[in-house]
Amino acid sequence: MLNKLFRKLNKDNIRPSEEFEMVLSDNLNETVEMLLKIIGDSNDIVQRDFKIASSESAALFYIEGMSDIDSIEEDVLKPLQELKPEGMNEPKDETLKKAIQDSISLSEIDIFETFDDAILPFLSGKSLLVVDGLAKIIILGTIAYENRGIEEPQSEVVIRGPRDGFVENIQTNIVLIRRRIRDPNLTIQLGKLGRRSKNDFAIIYIKGITDESLVEEVRYRISCIDRATIEESGTIEQLIEDNVLSPFPQILQTERPDKVAAFLNNGQVIILVDGTPFSLVAPITFEQLFKSPEDYYDRWQIGSLIRMLRYSAAFIALFLPSLYIAMISYHQGMIPTTLALSIAGAREGVPFPAFVEALLMELTLELLREAGVRLPRAVGQTIGIVGGLVIGDAAVRAGIVNPIMVIVVALTAIASFAIPAYNVSITLRMLRFFLMFLAASFGLFGIIIGYIAINIHLVGLKSFGRYYTSPFAPYRFIDLLDTVIRLPLTINKKRNDSEHTADAVKQK
């Protein structure tokens, strides 16, 4: 039923025509007039009239700030103006074209015959040259790149591993990947998305490792996107994922080129979008969200230990508050007597049932975290200390919560930070409240109900045709070993989920 609804919502409306039905003329004034009509009233568009070889009048357009003015002066205007007037005789347009091509010292010169083709490159920062007597538009590659320096990504910090991260510029990002995989089979397909924003995006995969039908599927889903603007790769993620109603991320996002290279090598497809450092990886399985590239850089024992620690962290982040609620309200008999007594003593002054108490503290915690993220960095830390220590201590003293609840909440918070993928930790935070509610209603029975319900959901979930819960189910022994612990590199010779890759073996 929902599918029907989505189809209805996505039904292709009549797109407004994007074509400018105008014919180029060889009269300079007419062309300029038309151009001004198209690019309209924007003040940042600079028109520079000049004469080529002091005889042919010409006009150069560029967008202030997007084009490299030095380059325009040095490589375009100067050589053209200093061109010798000799040899400028008939047939006029051919000689002109040749003269211009010969004298301009830029590597990127395109000549277009229609406005449609020329406008898009012009709007992305190239300059546009029209010459009297030439019914063509010359586009000159004078884009000025303004780049943030390549820094370590804030969202995925590692101790051991490369310190470079993606930036907002897609070209730079592609270079970062190419540096890592110098394989001629590395395929990078560029395209544009967004009816108005025309964002550049790239689909990247390694031919011969990635299943062709998977690439086909990714391409198909992306081409189905019809939106005016693509703000971030997250927008694409939501538009191409398999199940919109699921709280679980079905596409992985990362800022790390080394992680991306590893995924490429595993036969997955990467989607890069211009304007954001976050790249998308598809398809993924649930366990891949718990892996950090660092696991593979250290010795395998260390990797294994940290990985098991991470799984327990996920378990704590998801279940600890609900277990606390269940034990306090339903199964007091399970708690050791001395501990039960001390909890009872601590809870003596607390007026609320355990569920309300836990809910209060968890909500406070989420609030603190959200506030900490939004605040300026220096103030953010202060908020952490003030919130954590002062509110926690004051709440206990005021008798709103008991000290053990504070321990539970703090442990949960720390555990949820130990998960490498930010979006999964949010999902677990959300499900935690669901489980807390169930635990408050049915105790341990409620928790197991919640656990089974989550599992049923996960089992039905697919990411680009690949089972989300693999390698647990469908069961793959070697992959499973590399999920729970980290196998030594000398043993693990197959790619993950090798059934879905064209080339299963990654080392001999």
Task: Give the nearer residue to another protein in terms of CB position, either 309 or 459.
Answer: 459
Residues at the contact surface with another protein, assessed by CB under 8 A = 3, 6, 211, 213-214, 216-217, 220-221, 224, 240-244, 330-331, 333-337, 340, 442-445, 447-449, 452-453, 455-456, 459-460, 462, 464-465, 467, 469, 472-475
Would you say the C-alpha torsion 135, 141, 144, 147 has a positive or negative sign?
positive
Other Cβ atoms within 10 Å of 296 Cβ, number: 16
**Residue whose CB is less far from another protein, 112 or 437:** 437
Look at residues 286, 291, 288 and name the one whose alpha carbon lies nearest to residue 468. 286
Do residues 483 and 476 make contact, with C-beta atoms less than 8 angstroms apart?
Answer: no
CB of 443 to another protein, least distance (A): 6
- For the chain, the distance separating the N- and C-terminal CA atoms, rounded to the nearest angstrom, is 49
Cβ 210 to another protein shortest distance, Å? 12
Q: In what order do the strands lie in the sheet with 45-52?
A: 45-52, 56-63, 127-131, 137-140, 109-112
Residue 77, Ramachandran bin (φ over 0: left; ψ between -120 and 50: alpha; else beta): alpha
Sign of CA dihedral 98, 100, 103, 107: negative
Sign of the torsion angle spanned by Cα atoms 25, 26, 28, 29: negative
Smallest gap from Cβ 134 to another protein, in A, equals 47
Phi, psi of 217 (to 5 degrees): -65, -45
Residue 330 or 355 with smaller CB distance to another protein: 330
Nearer Cβ to another protein (187/246):
246
- Give me the least distance between CB of 19 and another protein, in Å please: 28
Where is 116: in which H helix or E strand?
helix 115-123
Query: Closest CB to another protein among 18 and 216?
Result: 216
d(CA 94, CA 320): 78
Quote the distance between the C-alpha of residue 144 and its chain's center: 24
Question: Which tokens hold the place of 470?
Answer: 């693999």
**Min dist. Cβ of residue 328 to another protein (A):** 13
The residue among 183 and 242 lying less far from another protein, judged by its C-beta, is: 242
Write down the least CB distance from residue 177 to another protein, Å.
25
C-beta of 290 vs 472, nearer to another protein: 472
Residue the block writes with tokens 């569920």? 355
**In the complex, least distance from residue 83 CB atom to another protein, rounded to whole angstroms:** 56
Q: What CA–CA distance (Å, rounded) separates 12 from 224?
A: 10
From the CB of 191, what's the least distance to another protein, in Å? 18
**Of 394 and 459, CB closest to another protein:** 459
